[in-house]
Amino acid sequence: MKMCYFFLISGLALLQSCSKKEEPINNTVEPYTINWNTAADSSSNTLIYSFWNAAGNYFNDNNNGLQTFNYWPQAHALDVVVDAYLRTNDNKYRTTMNEWYDGVKVKNGNTFYNVYYDDMEWIALAMLRTYGATQDEKFKTASIDIWKDIQTGWNTNAGGGISWKKDQLYSKNACSNGPACILAARLYQQFGDVKDKDWALKIYNWEKEVLFNPSNGAVADNIDSRTGVVNSSWIFTYNQGTFMGSAIELYKITGEKGYLNDAIKAADYTLNSLVDSNDRLIKSEGTGDGGLFKGIFVRYFVQLILNPDLDAATKKRYTTFIKLNGETLWRTGTNKQLVLFGTYWKTKPESVTGLPEQLSGSMLIEAMALLNK
């Protein structure tokens, strides 16, 4: 009955969000005005009702019941649930948060630790946000505990930085340093431990010196300390987003304009180089892990747009860009019957989509609701 009730509500929500203006303009119908709050309701409800594994209390790997447990997307699914809870204050999202805590921990071997430092960083960041939304101490305790384990990933290989994996200490990656910096900076802002601020500065300075290109804003994927080779041929929206997010957090802490300028450089590189030149949409980075990359960029890009010190011209340019992507996804790239998103925001999936690409679309829709508040 719950599933039937959801699709009834979802159908009504979609009718509301897709209502069209009837006045013809140049013999065409003006595109409907999107109700982003209603669209976000449909999107985030679908994440729970179509991807949630009620028996295991975690998110399935697709909407067709594939029960493969992939650890790091669980963090971003929790983040979307937090987005929806902050927007609506609906207790069904809080129930999901609590069930997620138990289910993900059990499924991960009754621990939140993992061999991948970046994956743990995402889990810790999502739980820190959950604590901020609910004040439930278990999320705070777990986040801080994971952070302590993450700190063991710092070593002098390549001059510093957090390693990518516990069994590959030579690989220093943007994906394991950007989120770590954001986590440390947010822990400092919430709880005031100066050591966390020092960690955030140390991690940021290393990543900027080793992986960031100040001339164009590109963030290289990694450096192999065994050879000293920086992999600057791999540039992903994911790494652009987390470097940008790190800079935004440090700007909040220090007020130093250089951090805001770094965030703008990273954003501009993405808008100039990681979009489809034909339609200005953020490019597809495939299924699997890559399906999540641009959603992560969107999350921190929106934080940059919302920064009160961003100049008006840049804010307008960024807002126009995100609006184009959001409207294209909802109007053209969404399977409205099932509320599913695909890897490219102009192309709707048929009946099955993976959790990572669904999450990227969900993050964009919740971001549009936040911007249109």
Distance CA 45, CA 12 (A): 13
Query: pLDDT at position 11, please?
Result: 40
The model's pLDDT over 292-301, given as tens digits with 9 standing for 90+, comes to: 999 999 999 9
Across the range 122-128, mean pLDDT stands at: 98
Judge whether residue 344 has pLDDT over 70. yes
Decide: 260 and 247 in contact? Cβ < 8 Å. yes
**pTM (2 decimals)?**
0.92
Please check whether residue 5 lies inside any domain of the structure: no
Cβ count within 10 A of residue 278: 7
**Length of the chain, please?**
373
Query: Residue 47 is which amino acid?
Result: L
- Residue 118 confidence class, pLDDT cut points 50, 70, 90: very high
The model's pLDDT over 207-242, given as tens digits with 9 standing for 90+, comes to: 999 999 999 999 999 999 999 999 999 999 999 999
Please check whether residue 1 lies inside any domain of the structure: no
Query: pLDDT at position 2, please?
Result: 34
Distance CA 179, CA 182 (A): 5
Please check whether residue 264 lies inside any domain of the structure: yes
Give the relative orientation of helices 312-331 and 257-273 as an angle to the nearest 10 degrees. Answer: 40
Please check whether residue 185 lies inside any domain of the structure: yes
The model's pLDDT over 235-294, given as tens digits with 9 standing for 90+, comes to: 999 999 999 999 999 999 999 999 999 999 999 999 999 999 999 999 999 999 999 999
52: enclosing H helix or E strand: strand 52-53
Across the range 45-58, mean pLDDT stands at: 97
Across the range 172-178, mean pLDDT stands at: 98
The model's pLDDT over 82-105, given as tens digits with 9 standing for 90+, comes to: 999 999 999 999 999 999 999 999
- Secondary structure class of 116 (helix, strand, coil): strand
Query: pLDDT at position 20, please?
Result: 34
Q: State what percent of residues in the chain have pLDDT above 70.
A: 92
What is the DSSP code string of 184-198?
Answer: HHHHHHHH--HHHHH
Report CA-CA distances (Å) from 47 to 6, 34, 171, 295, 344.
Answer: 12, 20, 34, 14, 18
Query: pLDDT at position 227, please?
Result: 97
Query: pLDDT at position 373, please?
Result: 85
Alpha helices in 30-173, H assignment, sequence order:
36-51, 71-88, 91-107, 117-134, 137-150
Q: Which two tokens stand for residue 12?
A: 């009504």
Across the range 48-77, mean pLDDT stands at: 97
Q: In 184-238, where do the E strands start and end?
A: 222-224, 229-231
Q: CA torsion sign, 160 to 163 to 169 to 172?
A: negative
Between 137 and 12, the more confident residue is 137
Please check whether residue 268 lies inside any domain of the structure: yes
The model's pLDDT over 138-164, given as tens digits with 9 standing for 90+, comes to: 999 999 999 999 999 999 999 999 999
Q: Which two tokens stand for residue 216?
A: 């164009």
Q: What is the mean pLDDT of the chain?
A: 92
- Return the CATH number at 112: 1.50.10.20
Please check whether residue 202 lies inside any domain of the structure: yes
Report CA-CA distances (Å) from 262 to 94, 246, 255, 314.
Answer: 35, 10, 13, 14
Query: pLDDT at position 30, please?
Result: 53
Domain span holding position 322: 37-371
Q: Please tell me the total count of domains within the chain.
A: 1
Please check whether residue 152 lies inside any domain of the structure: yes
Please check whether residue 29 lies inside any domain of the structure: no
The model's pLDDT over 8-36, given as tens digits with 9 standing for 90+, comes to: 333 434 333 443 333 333 334 457 899 99
